[in-house]
Structure 1
Amino acid sequence: MEEIQVPPYFICPISLEIMKDPVTISTGMTYDRENIEKWIFTAKNNTCPATKQSLTCIELTPNVTLRRFIQSWCTLNESHGIERFPTPKPPVSKPQIIKLLKEAKSPKLQMKSLNRLRSIASENDANKRCMESAGAMEFLASIINKNVNEVFEDEEGFMSIKDEALSILYQLKLSENGLKSLISIGNGEFIESLTRVMQHGSYESRAYAVMLMKDMFEVSTPTPLLSLKKEFFIQVVQVLKDEISQKAKKASLQVLVNVCPFGRNRVKAAETGTIRVLVDLLLDSYEKRVCELMLILLDQLCQSAEGRAELLNHPGGLAIVSKKILRVSKVGSERAIKILHSISKFSSTPSVVQEMLSLGVVAKLCLVLQVDCGSKAKERAREILKIHAKAWRNSPCIPNNLLSSYPF
């Protein structure tokens, strides 16, 4: 059979396949829509794959002429097994989104319009960015900021307007600039609105609120994180305690990790029962990343006197921290040892020193010196053992096989 020569300008430079829906980007290069959308939106690249030039905008212009040439060529070569690609569905446009947002301001059309926006956002990443540029983010945030929360009945039952707006806003997976804009709305007003959702919302909405907050805080500057109120910590910790879902648990932990490098926040977190919840959850947690986040957060909190006091007040505080050494990961071990280092250096009363010995903490630290777990971890373990050498090194609680590694 005669080999078919495909015209080179029909080939997408990314996938090296015939383009089904050619679109042109700001650099003038043409790609298949699916491939360039993955490149820009999924892989988060901001350059042209072929020329490496920066993209001045992310608008994808359909190359209708080239698409028709490709379709005609496919039809002419049908006898050779070439299938003609169907004409693609036109993408959603900014004017369409703006029209929907205007309709959504009408109480009678609001839920219907929100359902349509949800459907559009679920189709692809290009639609999400189109919605963001058309002002969907600001509109949805304004609904969430309202003190009233209208409830409508649809085919699936009763639905809260605020819940629907929040789920769509999270689904948009906003750009970094979009997330920063949310933080700055009303001088922290939107963070307070999400805090209220975590307090009064459904389980699903509370999960969306903390997951959206995680995305926001990951790109935030320190300033808005320094003015968080005590109520914020109470509600994030409550979401963590309720274990709504694994995603919500990780998001809650990440939110607290992002805000607790700051001293005032550490105190607020300690005072709102964060450490008690963390220790209780650690007792039954085995997933690597979850344990790492908990130990990172405990380490941050134990850098304050209030945090160390709360850990020592928990009957299982020292025990669970010690237990996680060498059982989670290198990161987990380093953080657990760092927590014990903070306790030893700043809060080591005679009763605490004796408790560490009876719980097997000392034996675990001796074991750390014998295995490969990072130079920093070993250095801190050695320092802890030296600080309390007078009380510990001759103790019968330390197994003979580990006593040889005690640093004299």
Structure 2
Amino acid sequence: MAEGADQVQAPPYFLCPISLQIMRDPVTLPTGITFERECIEQWLFSTSKFSSSAAPAATCPVTNQSILRTDLTITPNHTLRRLIQSWCASRGVERFPTPRAPLDDAQLSSILRQARLPNSQLSALKMLRSIVSDSDRNKLLVESFPAAIDLLLSAFVSSPPQEEGCDHEAMAILCMLKIPDRTVLESFSDILDSLTSVLRRSRPESPQPRAHAVLLMKSLLRERDIPATKLMSLKQGMFDVVVGVLKDRVSYTATKAALQVIHGACPWGRNAAKAVRAGAVAVLVEALLDEPERKACEMMMVVLEELCSGCEKGLEELIGHAAGIAVVGQRMLRVSPLATESAVRLFRSITSTRQGKAEVVEEMMQFGVVSKLIKLLLHDGEVVIRESAKEMAREMLRKHARVWRSSPCITPQLRALYPPSA
């Protein structure tokens, strides 16, 4: 609402039905109802229904009438806007400026033409980035232009950028858009290879391009229709640079995206082994030592379990890491039920392997893992995890009862709580 308007009673037809604020840029729908442009565009264009090809695009929030895609015309109400501006001026309310005209096909085509010229590509991409971030309506319009998506991809896929920074601007824009499924399917490998190259050559002091690149990787791997053969043939270089993003702690957003990339790739072929070869296990262990965010810790535990269950080398690296057993035990019961289940499955795998079995079992006692396994079974209502994980805990306690009950590290109180069936 304009400054001062909260002390002056505004006519009700000056107020947007959605925000109940004085309208700065009133627009009218085909239903005859007038809204603030920003509010109604967010209502209409942020819904997934509108982006589909289904006939009913959305509904009018006042009349509840369906608005067909073909009928969706938002008409600026210049008369009402001038009336509101005049009323604000006469009442001593701050007069707001005439709003900027919304993006249209002709303006977008002009920007795209500029972006194809060597000397104006960077400035045109920066302008496009500002426009896309301005509203959901603009995003949808750019997405509906196949030439726009092709141009953005070509800025870093088909050839080196014409100006330094063009590839970074293009990636930033694509992170805000939905790349068409057909484009993803046709260019999946080329896009991934180019993003890998961007990550490889990006400087550590420039975190944003690395974050945008790994975010795009995440969105590509989320595409459900990617053939399994392509997912199983992901290149080692991709895992090397993604693990590098994890290691360098580029940003919280980039860390989450990198974890989701590895998580999405692990079930296919030998991708878990590729991630382990890239050093993911050691990086995750060291990240878990001081990661303050619970959600990030949960994702790290899940990915660590996937790497160790899907690759024997991963389990060996976890056991061989000086902080491996300790950090998994530390996060158990402290992060989330999902992280605790991952920890239980990790310890079951660890105790089932032949590498350093006796030392590992003793180490679990020293780092408090045994006490947590017991608490997991005793405090049934406090720790909500699946019965299969509890059964794994019981199995471990039974299997190693002789070592753990006789250990000097176990307290009399803990020994008394040890399951009698073990």
TM bin, normalised by shorter chain, reads 0.7 to 0.9
**Paired residues of 2:199 and 2:210 also in contact (CA < 8 A):** yes
Q: Residue 155 of structure 1 corresponds to which residue in structure 2?
A: none
Distance 1:187 1:212 in 2: 11
> Match for 1:356 among 364, 383, 408?
364
Q: Residue 161 of structure 1 corresponds to which residue in structure 2?
A: 166
Distance 2:183 2:30 in 1: 28
Deviations, residues 291-347 of structure 1 (Å, cap 9, x unaligned): 111101011112223322221222221121011112223332222222212323455
| Range moving further from structure 2, 361-370 or 97-106 | 361-370
Q: Residue 334 of structure 1 corresponds to which residue in structure 2?
A: 341
| Range moving further from structure 2, 208-217 or 139-148 | 208-217
Distance 1:129 1:250 in 2: 26
Deviations, residues 338-393 of structure 1 (Å, cap 9, x unaligned): 22123234557344333323433222322333332124254432222123223323
Give the count of matched residue pairs: 393
Query: CA distance change for structure 1 residues 190 and 54 in 2, over 3 Å: closer, same or farther?
Result: farther
Q: Compute the TM-score of the two structures, normalised by the length of structure 1.
A: 0.83
**Paired residues of 1:37 and 1:126 also in contact (CA < 8 A):** yes
Is 1:392 aligned to residue 404 of structure 2? yes
Where structure 1 has 5 or more consecutive residues not aligned to the other structure, the ranges are 152-158
Deviations, residues 181-226 of structure 1 (Å, cap 9, x unaligned): 5532424211111011111123332222012222333444453533
**Paired residues of 2:232 and 2:269 also in contact (CA < 8 A):** no
Runs of 4+ in 1 over 6 A off after TM superposition: 80-85
| Equivalent AA in structure 1 for residue 197 of structure 2 | R
| Range moving further from structure 2, 52-61 or 236-245 | 52-61
Is 1:115 aligned to residue 119 of structure 2? no
Residue 279 of structure 1 deviates from its aligned partner by: 0.9
**Paired residues of 1:75 and 1:82 also in contact (CA < 8 A):** no
| Equivalent AA in structure 1 for residue 36 of structure 2 | D
Distance 1:347 1:263 in 2: 25
Secondary structure of the 2:155 match is helix
**Paired residues of 1:24 and 1:60 also in contact (CA < 8 A):** no
Q: Residue 177 of structure 2 corresponds to which residue in structure 1?
A: 174
Distance 2:367 2:12 in 1: 74
1:140-151 alignment to 2 at 5 Å?
140-151=152-163
| Equivalent AA in structure 1 for residue 288 of structure 2 | L
Secondary structure of the 2:409 match is coil
| Equivalent AA in structure 1 for residue 328 of structure 2 | V
Distance 2:68 2:189 in 1: 31
Is 1:88 aligned to residue 96 of structure 2? no
Is 1:256 aligned to residue 262 of structure 2? yes
| Range moving further from structure 2, 15-24 or 92-101 | 15-24
Query: CA distance change for structure 1 residues 208 and 62 in 2, over 3 Å: closer, same or farther?
Result: same
**Paired residues of 2:118 and 2:162 also in contact (CA < 8 A):** no
Q: CA RMSD, aligned part only?
A: 3.2
Secondary structure of the 2:259 match is helix
**Paired residues of 2:298 and 2:338 also in contact (CA < 8 A):** yes
| Range moving further from structure 2, 245-254 or 68-77 | 68-77
**Paired residues of 1:23 and 1:61 also in contact (CA < 8 A):** no
Is 1:365 aligned to residue 373 of structure 2? yes
Q: Compute the TM-score of the two structures, normalised by the length of structure 2.
A: 0.81
Is 1:208 aligned to residue 212 of structure 2? yes
| Equivalent AA in structure 2 for residue 370 of structure 1 | L
